Structure 1
Amino acid sequence: MKNIFKQAVMAVGLIAAAQGAVAAGDAAAGEAKVAVCAACHGADGNSPAPNFPKLAGLGEKYLIKQLQDIKSGSRKIVEMTGLLDNMSDQDLADMAAFFDQKPLQLSGAKELKVRVNSGIEVDGLELGQKVFRAGNPSVGMPACTGCHSPRGLGNSPAGYPRLSGQHADYIEKQLRDFRAGNRVNDGDSKIMRQVAQHMSDAEIKAVANYIAGLN
């Protein structure tokens, strides 16, 4: 687990170095550039559909990186194929700034039962809270709070996104994709892949649901 935390610190430095060359985003300029995003993510970045992430308030650095990765192809999202091809780095920074200054609307958690590896059904909210706040030391999985803050608000200067209020289905899919190696844009440190590889299906579903109601 210590190695994971060390790699997280390294990842922060790499993210900052990679984004330092991009001028600060202009939210006002970004408003005119995000029209294409509205159909899936909502005009204010609050997607109504659980398969499309909410972008509002995620953190400007994180959003810039995701847009750059999608444009370059290092993060493959079929629905966004070609949509960013004609956008400059400044355009992407402006779009990120626009969405980051929008308030995120909470999705909300729900009562949930999940079946753990022993076959027993447990309270999903309790398990989700435990995973988020304490991780699972028995398998070397750190708490989510270390990078994403106790309230799930993220660490914008470090490039770690806000999680609280995000669609549970979306968070669950991202964790499964990191675990399976289908999403690999968490940097050379592989911080999210290393965390997700220790998570069971029940833990992923439970923590995604818990995060959706955090504020």
Structure 2
Amino acid sequence: MKKLIAAASLCVASFSVQAVTTVPEYDANAGKQIVESVCAACHGMNGISPVPSQPNLGGQNVKYLYKQLIDYKTGYRKNGIMQSQIANLSQQDLADVAGYYAEQPVWNVGYADPVTVQDATKLYLGGDKSRGVIGCAGCHGPDAAGNDWAAFPRLGGQHAEYIATQLKLFRAAGREDDITSDEQKRINDADKEGEVGMMQTVAARLSDRDIRILSDYISAIH
């Protein structure tokens, strides 16, 4: 119970952290030009990625998109390809890109496995008290549409492969005994380095099966 209370407290704290994300006034047309030359190969011009390992971005929360791009720019979120792609972009460029993708139609690409959908639904909506896992819906919503104000991302319809990878990166960061290299950990759910964010706390308690069925389920929420 204490673990659940601590996790819930982290969820409340992360609302205040994410809510301070302020996106500069952006020019979606300028963003479109950057996307065409820099981003479209992996994420598509309309934000629907042709590569399951890369995220769909169309219709995503603009605050979330901007924060992730800034985190890549500063190295707080690590990915060699992303960091090299945006190395020469300014903060205004990043805002323009985020704004452009946020204005694109939302993706709908996944289909759930009927064999595991019941277990996944319970885990997504209500978590598992016996293991201190809180439900994903508390932050991302029962329809997985995210929270625009708090900059919690839309997840529904996202590529299952991408979701699974991110959960594993968060899990590696959330487990103190994990020997995975820093390059294979994701810590940018926390306000600053050295703190433990909500996603790290939740993912640290997920098994490989949890991640597999959750990813499959989330990808099918349209």
TM-score (norm 2): 0.87
Residue number among 197, 206, 209 corresponding to 1:202 in the alignment: 209
Identity score, percent: 40
Q: Which residue of 1 aligns with 2:188?
A: 185
Q: What's the offset of the Cα at 1:186?
A: 0.6
Q: Deviations over 1:90-114 (max 9, x none)?
A: 21111111111111221222426xx
Alignment of 1:74-89 (within 5 A): 74-89=76-91
Contact 1:10-1:189 at 8 Å conserved across structures:
no
**How many correspondences in the alignment?**
203
CA distance in 1, matches of 2:80, 2:93: 21
Call closer, same or farther: CA 1:80–1:133 in 2, change over 3 Å: same
The answer on whether the counterparts of 2:59 and 2:107 sit within 8 Å (CA) in structure 1 is no
The answer as to whether partners of 1:154 and 1:161 remain within 8 angstroms in 2 is: yes
Q: Which amino acid aligns with 2:30?
A: A
| TM superposition shift of 1:205 | 0.3
In structure 1, the partner of 2:176 is: none
Point out where structure 1 has 5 or more consecutive residues left out of the alignment.
113-122
Q: Secondary structure at the match of 1:156?
A: coil
AA at the equivalent of 1:85? A
Give the SS at the match of 2:95.
helix
Cα distance in 1 for residues equivalent to 2:95 and 2:196: 24
Correspondence 1:173 to 2:176: no
Superposed CA RMSD: 1.4
User: Could you tell me the TM-score, scaled by structure 1's length?
Assistant: 0.89
Q: Could you tell me which amino acid in structure 1 is paired with residue 62 of structure 2?
A: E
1:40-119 to 2 correspondences below 5 Å: 40-111=42-113
Give 1:15 shift. Answer: 2.4
Residue type matched to 1:157 in 2? W
**Which ranges in structure 2 are unaligned for 5 or more consecutive residues?**
174-184
Give the structure 1 partner of residue 31 of structure 2. Answer: 30
SS of the residue 1:157 aligns to: coil
Q: Distance in 1 between matches of 2:81 and 2:118?
A: 35
Residue 148 of structure 1: CA displacement? 0.3
Post-superposition Cα deviations, 1:50-96, rounded to whole Å, max 9, x if no partner, equal 01111111200100011001111111112223211221212111111
